[in-house]
Structure 1
Amino acid sequence: MAFGARGAGGEDLPALLEMMEDFNAGESIAFDRALFRPRLERLLADPGLGRVLVFEVDGDPSGYAIVTWGYDLEYGGRDAFLTEFYVRPDHRRRGIGRQALAAAEEAARSGGAHALHLLVRHENAEAQRLYGLAGYRTEPRAVMTKDF
């Protein structure tokens, strides 16, 4: 089983949107292709916003990651947020997640980030285990959001 990770391009839109739909369904997040497609196209077109990675196993799309840029004095300046990280269910528990996470970290690092943050649902023990083994820690602060 050969794993690969690469930057996504416009030709990846159909596969990415399919995987995004699966990811969002699993996270109980409303997903509307008509809304998400132009957002994804903008991200693909502007590396100043972040990076989109496609993960492949034996040449077939097996997952994706979205890394977006931020800036935080506490973390040394540029930081990154792993806003979406998905590995297809049939490729989980085979070491693909570890390799995919390492690729996302390298994308953040090579983009100048000093830290990579992510959100994980409290009940998602499998993902928490993966992230914990990779060196991620919970912070003593809660993430709070206000929509505009």
Structure 2
Amino acid sequence: MNHEILKANLSDIPELCEMMKDFYAIDLYPFDEKEAAANFVKFLDNDSYGNCFKVVFEGRIAGYIILVKYFSFEFGGEILFLDELFIKPEFQGKSLGKKALEFVKDYSVENNFKIVLLEIENHNEKAKKLYENYGFQNHKRSLMILKN
């Protein structure tokens, strides 16, 4: 299988935004392309936020991974949040999701992150099963949000 996972760069932003738009459409999340592009510029330009990676299959961008770094006393230090993982529909079924999770796991170990957190839509059984196969477990808490 001819795949690579590479750090995204500024020239990837239009394609990253296009994939993000498709990803958000699955669950009818609002999407503002200008805001997303500006956030990618900010995010890609500051390693302290985390990293964005592109999943490349046979020379074409097949998906992306966004990993956000933060610090948690509860979890013992620096942790990694798998903010987004998306594989384009035409590239699904090629084990790229599995390869992406292997990459995330290796990246977290190599960079001494204590844990990897993620959030998942409750209805997404396929993704939940994939994550569970890589050792992710349901946490006893629920995610809450306060919008400003």
- 1:24 equivalent in structure 2: 24
Instruction: List alignment gaps of at least 5 residues for structure 1.
Output: none
- 1:125 equivalent in structure 2: 125
SS in 1 for 2:85: strand
Shift of 1:70: 1.1
- 1:33 equivalent in structure 2: 33
- 1:134 equivalent in structure 2: 134
- 1:57 equivalent in structure 2: 57
In structure 1, what residue type is equivalent to 2:87? V
Contact 1:67–1:108 (CA<8 Å) still a contact in 2? no
Contact 1:17–1:37 (CA<8 Å) still a contact in 2? yes
TM-score between both structures, scaled by the size of structure 1: 0.94
- 1:15 equivalent in structure 2: 15
Superposed CA RMSD in Å reads: 1.2
Q: Distance in 1 between matches of 2:106 and 2:51?
A: 11
In structure 2, what residue type is equivalent to 1:137? Q
Q: Distance in 2 between matches of 1:72 and 1:133?
A: 25
Shift of 1:112: 3.3
Q: Distance in 2 between matches of 1:118 and 1:25?
A: 19
Q: Distance in 1 between matches of 2:39 and 2:109?
A: 23
Shift of 1:10: 0.6
Shift of 1:63: 0.3
SS in 2 for 1:6: strand
Instruction: List alignment gaps of at least 5 residues for structure 2.
Output: none
Q: Distance in 2 between matches of 1:49 and 1:110?
A: 17
Identical aligned residues as a percent: 25
- 1:97 equivalent in structure 2: 97
SS in 1 for 2:74: helix
Equivalenced residues, count: 148
Shift of 1:118: 0.5
